[in-house]
Amino acid sequence: MEQKLRESEAYYKAIFEYSGTAIAILDEEGSIAMANSPCESMFGVTTDEVCGKKSWAEFVAEDQREIVKAKYRERMIGSNRLPSCYEVPIVTRDSSIRHVIMNVVSIQQTGKTVVSFTDITDRKQDHEELQKAYRQLQEMQAQLVHSARLAVVGQLASGVAHEIRNPLAIIIQSVDYLQSLLSSEPEVEAVQMIREASWRADKIVKDLLRLSGQSTFTLTKSDIRPLVEEVLVLISGQLKCTKIKIVTQYEEDLPDVRIDVNQMKQALINMVMNSIDAIMPLGEGTIMITAERNGQEKVRLVIADTGTGISDDLLDRIFDPFFTTKRKEKSVGLGLSTAQHIIERHNGRIRAEHNQGKGLRLVVDLPAVRN
């Protein structure tokens, strides 16, 4: 009988030691009574350092310790509400965090508890990497769909623009000639209305051509700050009789950017006009324009306004062609989509986000010229 007990003890000791799973036996107070070699390797300690001296809870990450201890106590009093195993973050001797599945089995006859630990850190990291890759894939897919949609819109826009451009040029020339022949006030005003509508249509045609990438594109090394100031002079007429204030703030020694001056000027006009239109319904507001370095290789331009802003569900659509929250007679929704197209042709990026407090921020990053 004694021989069988010794054999049984040796058998279970071999299983305990060489099972390949980290196993610890805890006493009634939760202190570690025994720990096998895989357990020592996992925690980075020896049996002599922990047995009878340390509670298993001391290895749990501090921010989760009380939560895990509460689960353990509830499990030990026989609660069936909790599973016998749960995920626990542990801290090893070198202060690294390992994520383990802790399986708890109580031995009622002895008052001791057998706890096994399965390291799932690598599996968890793989899962997180997979989720990250999936999110990136979704973003890339959305970008491809957006690019395909823009390509179709660009082709359509190019065709429509070319069909309209020639007859529109004839209309504008004829209106100019007709206006020179008229003298009575009502007729002059009527022709002037036709002229203004024609010029507005001509601007839409030019925006369509920019959107389709059929406008000329010549890059020159330029300082973005004088260009912003030139744009503000051009749109100053729009601010007369308004309570809209424009504030500029430029970082000193700002690197140059390589841009097509005329196209970038148009992009800036579109963005500033978007802010002006957003403030108009409120009666007053501020547009803050800043230019600064963004790291060593980019120049960041931010146009922030205190206007009406835009809802979360519409924010992602703000650069879509023909999308607008304004009255149709006020805008056809090409301003920001054209600005985005121009900026991306410069290998830049633009994003829209909510301004702190209220309004909208347009953030533009352009590649800086290396000296």
Q: Is 355 exposed, middle or buried (0-12, 13-18, 19+ CB in 10 A)?
A: buried
Handedness of CA 237, 241, 244, 250 (dihedral sign): positive
Contacts of 210 (CB under 8 A, 6+ apart): 263, 266, 338, 341, 342
Angle between helices 335-345 and 185-211 (to 10 degrees): 40
Contacts of 137 (CB under 8 A, 6+ apart): none
Q: What are phi and psi of 326, to 5 degrees?
A: -90, 170
Q: What does the DSSP 8-state code read for residue 221?
A: E
> Which pLDDT score, from 0 to 100, does residue 212 have?
58
- The tokens describing 156, both together, are 């359509």
> Which pLDDT score, from 0 to 100, does residue 362 have?
95
User: What sections of 182-306 are H helices per DSSP?
Assistant: 185-211, 224-234, 261-279
Residue type, 95: S
H helix or E strand, kind and range, residue 152: helix 121-181
CA distance to 33, 90, 122, 139, 169, per residue, from 126 (Å): 34, 18, 6, 20, 62
Q: Is the Cβ–Cβ distance between 115 and 23 less than 8 Å?
A: yes
Q: What are phi and psi of 177, to 5 degrees?
A: -65, -45
Q: What is the pTM of this model?
A: 0.50
CA–CA dist 249, 288 (Å, integer): 8
CA–CA dist 70, 54 (Å, integer): 18
> Which pLDDT score, from 0 to 100, does residue 44 have?
79
> Which pLDDT score, from 0 to 100, does residue 226 have?
93
Domains of the chain in start order, with CATH, are 2-119 (3.30.450.20), 121-215 (1.10.287), 218-371 (3.30.565.10)
| pLDDT tens series, the chain, 371 aa | 666 666 666 666 776 776 778 888 887 777 788 888 888 788 877 777 777 667 777 788 888 888 777 777 776 666 555 567 778 888 888 888 888 888 877 777 777 888 888 888 888 888 888 888 888 888 777 766 666 666 656 666 666 666 676 677 777 777 777 777 777 777 777 777 877 777 777 777 776 666 655 566 789 999 999 999 998 988 887 788 889 999 999 999 899 999 998 889 889 988 998 999 999 989 899 999 999 999 889 999 999 999 988 888 888 888 887 777 766 555 667 788 888 988 998 999 999 999 887 899 999 999 999 86
Which of 201, 200, 181 is closest to 191 using CA atoms? 181
> Which pLDDT score, from 0 to 100, does residue 263 have?
87
* Chain centre to alpha carbon of residue 211: 24
Q: Is the Cβ–Cβ distance between 154 and 211 less than 8 Å?
A: yes
